[in-house]
Amino acid sequence: MVTRFYDQEKSYEDWCKENVNGYVFNYAGGKTGNVLHTVGCRHLTVPSRIGTYTTRYPKFCSTDITLLSIKADEVSNPYSWRRCKACFK
């Protein structure tokens, strides 16, 4: 299952707490790009951004990286996303 969070900060934070081994696809587009992270990545816990993580663009979350990769392919146009270098090693 893939869950989409957009302007649902509390739900997103709860999901991350309940799925510490999960994955988060950040559908930012533009210059920032679309990036797949693991829950707990330092990019997802920047203090100045806590509370606004889902307000600017949606996040797709899943515990299944295959499903989340398929979703990333679906929503990114065209297939323009990457894995974060900080949390995927």
What is the binding site for Zn ion (CB under 5 A)?
Answer: 37, 41, 43, 84, 86-87
Minimal distance, residue 42 CB to Zn ion, in Å: 7
Quote the CA–CA distance of 14 and 85 in Å, as a whole number.
25
Nearer to Zn ion, 16 or 87 (CB): 87
Nearer to Zn ion, 43 or 56 (CB): 43
Strand 59-62 to 23-27 pairing: antiparallel
**Reduced to 3 states, what is the DSSP secondary structure of residue 17?**
helix
Nearer to Zn ion, 4 or 83 (CB): 83
DSSP state of 56: S
